[in-house]
Amino acid sequence: MARDTEDRAAGTHKAERRQRGRSKKKPKETRTVRVHTGHEHNPNRHYANNRIKTTKYTVLSFLPKNLFEQFHRFANVYFVFIALLNFVPVVNAFQPELALAPVVFILSVTAIKDLWEDYRRHRSDTEINHMDCLVYTERRYVERFWKEVQVGDFIRLRCNEILPADVLLLSSSDPDRLCHLETATLDGETNLKQRQVVRSFFDLDCEFDPLKFNGIIECEKPNNDLNRFRGYILHRSGSRDALYKDNLLLRGCTVRNTEEAVGIVIYAGHETKAMLNNNGPRYKRSKLERQMNVHVFWCVVILLLMCLFAAIGHGLWVFQYGDKRPVFDVLSPEGAELSPVVAAVYLFLTLIIVFQVLIPISLFVSIEIVKVCQVFFIHQDQDLYDEDSDSRLQCRALNITEDLGQTQYVFSDKTGTLTENKMVFRRCTVAGVEYSHDANARRLALYQEVDSEEEEVPPPGGSLRRDSSSSQQSSRVVLRSLSTKTHRRTGSRADAKRASILSKHTAFSSPMEKDVTPDPQLLDKVNECGGQMDFMRFHGQPVSQLPSDLADIMDFFMALTVCNTVVVSSPNQPRQKVRMRLESKSPVKTIEDFIKRFTPSRLTSGSSSSSSSSLATSRSSNRGCSGLLSSPSAESTLAKLQEEQAALGSAPPRYDGTPRSPEDGELRYEAESPDEAALVYAARAYKCSLVGRLPDQVTVELPHLGKLSFELLHTLGFDSTRKRMSVVVRHPLTDQITVYTKGADSVIMDLIKPPDTETSKGRRQKKLVLRTQNYLNLYAADGLRTLCIAKKVLSKEQYACWLQRHLEAETAIQGREELLFDSALRLETNLQLLGATGIEDRLQDGVPETIASLRQAGLQIWVLTGDKQETAVNVAYACKLLDPEEEILTLNADSHEACALLLEESLHYIQTKFLCSSSDQAAKAFLPNFAPFEVYPPSSSSPHSAAFTVHRLGLVIDGRTLAYALDQSLEDRFLAVARSCRSVLCCRSTPLQKSTVVKLVRNKLKVMTLAIGDGANDVSMIQVADVGVGISGQEGMQAVMASDFALPRFRYLQKLLLVHGHWSYSRLANMILFFFYKNAMFVALVFWYQFYCGFSGSAMIDQWYLIFFNLMFSAFPQLVTGTLDKDVSAETLQQLPQLYMSGQNSEEYKPYMFWMNMIDAFYQSLVCFFIPYFAYADSDVDVFTWGTPITTLALLTILVHLGIETRTWTWMNCLSISFSVSLFFTVSLCYNASCPSCFSPSNPYWSMQRLLQDPLFYLLCVLTPVAALLPRYFYRACQGTLFPSPVQVGRQLDKLPSETRRNILNLGGVEAGSAVRPVPHFLSLGTPSPEGPDENHQRTEELEFLPLVSWNVFIHIPQPLLCISEMEFRVCVF
């Protein structure tokens, strides 16, 4: 790798030189960083400095830029267009300045909001910019603000300091020349990352002096790839030093475990990788909003029709006078007479202005306000707060809250989402013998017990546990005396929480995971084995003579300990970091290196080469372990070893059986994945503890043997295609080059060396494999995650051979990934199976309940997991996703054809099994107890589109089959099968497949999808789904970063969807409908007037009222209602999840409701217009004295209408309504008294005052709202009685006294749970084309069918409870 980089670097350098020779203008492909020590001015000043500015605007650019952004929204352009139209004299309707007011208002509200946000960003920028760091200037390090840091500056970093910029690490106080970083702010991973000092500065023992640094750094241009950094230092001597990502410290990370480090700034400010990775939140448009936009469009159509109608009317009106010009038909300002046609055209434009209110200008703003409020309330919900992690729900997308109430399909990840992702070592099998770890199982059971009891009475200090299990107690004593027992004994979750606060930087290490109770049998064997090895070592016997089963056990634990990427640290005491360094050398990088290392001469040559010497150097501790052990003379080795150990100050030697010093318990394992840590902890329970890990060396402490250092030759990291990882080490005892491989059983089993059945050993081996496989199946059946451990011993020649090709691969320029992959494949063959482990991933609290209630809510739940089929199925059973009583269709196919066939068969099976046997029967079979159950036989109404009910069927499909099924030709059939199953489980699916499945379901079935996951592998799925939910769990932050909502735990999904989703949807739906109604009603008043003013575009409503009616007088109450209204209480919503279906079926906002609202609006406006019309007919009332009561009446009617639609009255509602009314009167009184000669043409001086003296006005105020709202009120009352919606029934339940309600819900909940599943209509099999006439067909049928999604709750109340013996809440929609 090094060579390659250097080559490339050299190449670019050459290229650059050439470039420089020709012209300087060409864009450089690299960045050159020169040193800046503060004397002269910075040679790198043309690079961005470290001042960050995330604000969008400056003082000057705010107005133009903000306006430009706002005009991207079509509505704004429309309103500005209308306002500008007002400036054309022939068509103007209002005072032009006044007409601008609403647009300006809306624009300025948004602008102020943007400004405020920008200000907040500015403040946080300033805060960050003014953080301190040490910068080298004038021969010393001086405190400087972050913003003053420039590229080329030397920076001194102290422990726990945050990096101000991307820094190239040049020196570290760490003897290994490492710097530990916590990258949680970048990727959310809590384990520490190691960064290395640039190679040429490696051997600097004295303090790094920036003045002596004389190189020039050439590196890549800034980019956002966190895992990539290439470059080199060009020293003055001409030598070059390659730079890798391991040398770069990224901005935003925190320095840990390292006392001091010095680096040079490479990228600063906005060019840092962290800043380049900052993308803003994304915007989705909710389903409701899409629906709304259609209706906004219809409003435009209605507007145009009204204008057209009035324009024609005006044309005719002008035409009827012919040449006789009436005095009131005023000529145009130019004195010209308008022909009827021209007059009509002008009028059309005028009316567009007058009627503009119909398009609700404030709707968009109001929706945003309401959504922000909703988000606020969701944020504030205590039920969504997780005490353990001190985290609450985060809404990252603000504009799709209502989508939560309309979700139909939930796609869930398994690990970390349904389960805790706390990997707990449960069982293992070594060399074909199973060790069941019963005590361990009991221990785990206890955690649960303690957890559950803790809520009631916290048991004092774990006494409960001690009492409850004596056998465990004994084993615990053993454990404590032996090794790893730590101070944490009460392992309840609260403790875990406390512990995790204490050790904030430690990932995956709750006591539950740490304290593994060893199986006594296995422990004995390990002890025996250790003892034997110790014995053998003392007697100079080769270790290979160990009995093979014992050797296997040893190897097994060795593999557990070594074959991982776990880092050991003790974060509280960085200085006492356990270091057992051999020497400063990294994994074998070149053939020469290899030859050098593996020639025996080296051992004798003593301290000749830098790589093998340095026994004397202060920082090497018990180095030489491997080297010496590999020498022929074991005794001398041992002597030396002991010598060294004695010499070790910081890490005193340990002997078997001695209790550990307290700080040893502080050893922390930081792993990238939790199961790695679990395995290391398990090994530690058997006293095989990992005590140190360095890039080239792993130190292990073994029973009887003390500390052994494995020389780490290679690490072949885990990847999802290989599904395994390997390490190549040199075994210190046998000096063999050993490959330890750990991976999924499916792959490892295929790589096992086929046993030679001739020899007994081979037979044994075969038996071992078979038995292990057997146990693996058992583990999987228990829902454990299984891993196989294997090893392989390489001869030096084999290794050399492999190494050669591997190095070739590493240095290849093209296709390196593939070559490395092939190289790994070559190594990982002919393995020898050692054993297998079973790790338990416990279900999160409340998962089964949540799934059950979500399912009752009509949500289809699919689980997409990367786990193996057996494990997944078992977890699915455990979380009640699959029901033991229901049938399971398992699809495993090896080929496309087979898959097609399987799908065909399944479909056929479903049809014959469930459809032919008459849906009535089927339904009744499910509900034998419910006689009055009403069935809507779907087949009778439309025999062809045979309705696919959701049967009690589970579908399990594996990744390979899924790949075939997702093929274009099969996807429809797959969907047909999947859709008719109650639950779907996709195992072994890749991240891409996950997102493909979600996309397929979303696009083909036209449903609302929600994806929930916690890991990086769920990101694509989360992004594809309509609503993405991230679990802020243990696997980093990627999922959360990609999500719209982030939850601390899965079970909160229930309240989020059932309560907040439902509320948000219902509130918003009602508010939008109300908006349309309100605007139509108000505008129609003016429209009716056109019939009485010669269609001249005149308005009887003062233009001030007309323009501010929406913005001021009627805006507030609906915002309050839109924010606070609750149709059903949270309690009932959670107990009757069926209520959620109203959102799924969009029952609160259906197209017909829009039209009904429009019709109602027109009716109400007719009433509001004609009652005053007749009341003032043929009187001396003037235009605006007549218009003012109409405005008042409209306002009152609208408010009362809102009152009827408001389901929950709090003081806020009452206040807002009275505020609106009083605001109207106050404003109009002030306005009408303000200026006697202003406000042409209405000039309403003293109108309101006179009006208030007129009894007629009050009579109208009483009569009109009553008359206008009579139909709606009556309809609501009838509907509430005759055909209440489920939601209304829920509200009636709310009304009942809490005791009665609890009884009803408890009874009803049970029965409702087993009640009918929703019966979504299913498109016919052969023609699932979503376009063309089929769509209409399908749509109409969906309309027919979806309402039939009926749910019946039959509630039987015990006799004494109610006056009547049986109470029935029967609900049928429609």
| Cα distances (Å, whole numbers) of residue 1324 to 210, 280, 943, 944, 1332 | 75, 42, 10, 7, 15
* Site for another protein, residues 1293 to 1312, rule: CB under 8 A: 1294-1297, 1299-1300
CB contact at 8 A, 556 and 525: no
| CB closer to another protein, 300 vs 398 | 398
Q: Examine residue 397 and tell whether it contacts another protein (CB under 8 A).
A: yes
DSSP string covering 922-972: HHHHH-TT-TT-----HHHH-SSS-----EEEEEEE-HHHHHHHTSHHHHH
* Site for another protein, residues 1226 to 1265, rule: CB under 8 A: 1236-1238, 1240-1241, 1243, 1245-1246, 1250, 1254-1256, 1259-1260, 1263
Ramachandran assignment for 177, one of left (phi > 0), alpha (psi -120 to 50 degrees), beta (any other)? left
Q: Examine residue 328 and tell whether it contacts another protein (CB under 8 A).
A: yes
Q: Examine residue 1054 and tell whether it contacts another protein (CB under 8 A).
A: no
Q: Which residues pair with residue 178 across a beta bridge?
A: 196
Give the number of other Cβ atoms within 10 Å of residue 864's Cβ.
31
Nearest approach, Cβ of 289 to another protein (angstroms)?
A: 14
User: What's the rounded Cα separation, in Å, for the pair 984 and 1005?
Assistant: 15
Q: Examine residue 321 and tell whether it contacts another protein (CB under 8 A).
A: yes
Numbered residues of the known binding site for ATP: 413-415, 676, 718, 742, 785, 865-867, 988, 994, 1017-1018
* Site for another protein, residues 1276 to 1295, rule: CB under 8 A: 1276-1282, 1284, 1288, 1291-1292, 1294-1295
Sequence-separated (6 or more) residues with CB below 8 Å from residue 887: 952, 953, 954
Q: Examine residue 884 and tell whether it contacts another protein (CB under 8 A).
A: no
Type of residue at 657:
G
Numbered residues of the known binding site for Mg(2+): 413, 415, 1014, 1018
User: What's the rounded Cα separation, in Å, for the pair 508 and 529?
Assistant: 30
| CB closer to another protein, 16 vs 388 | 388
Cite the beta strand spans of 159-253 per DSSP E: 166-172, 178-182, 192-196, 216-220, 231-234, 240-243, 248-249
Sequence-separated (6 or more) residues with CB below 8 Å from residue 397: 281, 282, 283, 284, 1044, 1045
Nearest approach, Cβ of 1237 to another protein (angstroms)?
A: 4
Q: Examine residue 1361 and tell whether it contacts another protein (CB under 8 A).
A: yes
| CB closer to another protein, 802 vs 1095 | 1095
User: What's the rounded Cα separation, in Å, for the pair 1089 and 1095?
Assistant: 8
* Site for another protein, residues 714 to 753, rule: CB under 8 A: none
Nearest to 395 by CA among 419, 416, 374, 413: 374
Q: Examine residue 278 and tell whether it contacts another protein (CB under 8 A).
A: yes
* Count of residues that interact with another protein, criterion CB under 8 A: 139
Nearest approach, Cβ of 1349 to another protein (angstroms)?
A: 23
User: What's the rounded Cα separation, in Å, for the pair 259 and 254?
Assistant: 12
Q: Examine residue 161 and tell whether it contacts another protein (CB under 8 A).
A: yes
From the list 619-627, 903-911, 1173-1181, 1338-1346, the region that binds another protein by CB under 8 A is 1173-1181
Q: For another protein, what does the binding mask look like between residues 467 and 506, x meaning CB under 8 A? A: ----------------------------------x-----
| CB closer to another protein, 932 vs 1255 | 1255
Nearest approach, Cβ of 62 to another protein (angstroms)?
A: 15
Q: Examine residue 110 and tell whether it contacts another protein (CB under 8 A).
A: yes
Q: Examine residue 121 and tell whether it contacts another protein (CB under 8 A).
A: yes
CA 150 to chain CA centroid, nearest Å: 35
From 211, 1209, 1234, 1340, residue interacting with another protein (rule: CB under 8 A): 1209
Burial class of residue 150, CB neighbours in 10 A (0-12, 13-18, 19+): buried
User: What's the rounded Cα separation, in Å, for the pair 425 and 675?
Assistant: 8
Q: What is the DSSP letter of 1139?
A: G
| CB closer to another protein, 538 vs 1258 | 1258
Joined together, the tokens standing for residue 909 give: 């099976």
Which residue intervals of 246-360 are DSSP H helices?
Answer: 273-276, 287-321, 340-354
From 21, 238, 280, 928, residue interacting with another protein (rule: CB under 8 A): 280
User: What's the rounded Cα separation, in Å, for the pair 365 and 824?
Assistant: 58
User: What's the rounded Cα separation, in Å, for the pair 1349 and 935?
Assistant: 10
CB contact at 8 A, 935 and 869: no
* Site for another protein, residues 621 to 660, rule: CB under 8 A: none
From the list 401-409, 617-625, 744-752, 1359-1367, the region that binds another protein by CB under 8 A is 1359-1367
Q: Examine residue 117 and tell whether it contacts another protein (CB under 8 A).
A: yes
From 97, 203, 209, 390, residue interacting with another protein (rule: CB under 8 A): 390
Q: Examine residue 105 and tell whether it contacts another protein (CB under 8 A).
A: no
From the list 718-726, 945-953, 1137-1145, 1271-1279, the region that binds another protein by CB under 8 A is 1271-1279
User: What's the rounded Cα separation, in Å, for the pair 235 and 238?
Assistant: 5
From 59, 301, 327, 616, residue interacting with another protein (rule: CB under 8 A): 327
Nearest approach, Cβ of 1009 to another protein (angstroms)?
A: 21
From 65, 270, 396, 766, residue interacting with another protein (rule: CB under 8 A): 396
Nearest approach, Cβ of 851 to another protein (angstroms)?
A: 26
Sequence-separated (6 or more) residues with CB below 8 Å from residue 794: 728, 736, 737, 738, 739, 802
From 258, 350, 412, 1114, residue interacting with another protein (rule: CB under 8 A): 350
Q: Examine residue 274 and tell whether it contacts another protein (CB under 8 A).
A: yes
Asked about 413 being catalytic, the answer comes back as: yes
From 3, 20, 45, 325, residue interacting with another protein (rule: CB under 8 A): 325
Q: Examine residue 330 and tell whether it contacts another protein (CB under 8 A).
A: yes
The helix/strand/coil state of 837 is strand
| CB closer to another protein, 381 vs 920 | 381
| CB closer to another protein, 232 vs 1239 | 1239
| Cα distances (Å, whole numbers) of residue 731 to 587, 677, 700, 701 | 15, 22, 11, 13
**Which of the following is catalytic: 241, 403, 413, 841?**
413
| CB closer to another protein, 333 vs 649 | 333
Q: What is the DSSP letter of 258?
A: -
| Cα distances (Å, whole numbers) of residue 361 to 369, 1110, 1219 | 14, 8, 22
Q: What is the DSSP letter of 1364?
A: S
| CB closer to another protein, 81 vs 1275 | 1275
From 633, 929, 1179, 1359, residue interacting with another protein (rule: CB under 8 A): 1179
User: What's the rounded Cα separation, in Å, for the pair 978 and 980?
Assistant: 5
Q: Examine residue 326 and tell whether it contacts another protein (CB under 8 A).
A: yes
CB contact at 8 A, 252 and 162: yes
| CB closer to another protein, 773 vs 1103 | 1103
From 160, 200, 473, 503, residue interacting with another protein (rule: CB under 8 A): 160
CA 97 to chain CA centroid, nearest Å: 47
Q: Which residues pair with residue 1020 across a beta bridge?
A: none
DSSP string covering 595-664: HHHH-THHHHS-SSSTTT--SSSSS--STTHHHHHTSS-HHHHHHHHHHHHHH-SSS----TTPPPPGGG
Nearest approach, Cβ of 429 to another protein (angstroms)?
A: 43
* Site for another protein, residues 1077 to 1116, rule: CB under 8 A: 1092-1094, 1096-1098, 1100
Nearest approach, Cβ of 122 to another protein (angstroms)?
A: 11
Nearest approach, Cβ of 170 to another protein (angstroms)?
A: 22
Nearest approach, Cβ of 1021 to another protein (angstroms)?
A: 20
Q: Which residue matches tokens 């240095």?
A: 811
- Residues recognised as catalytic: 413
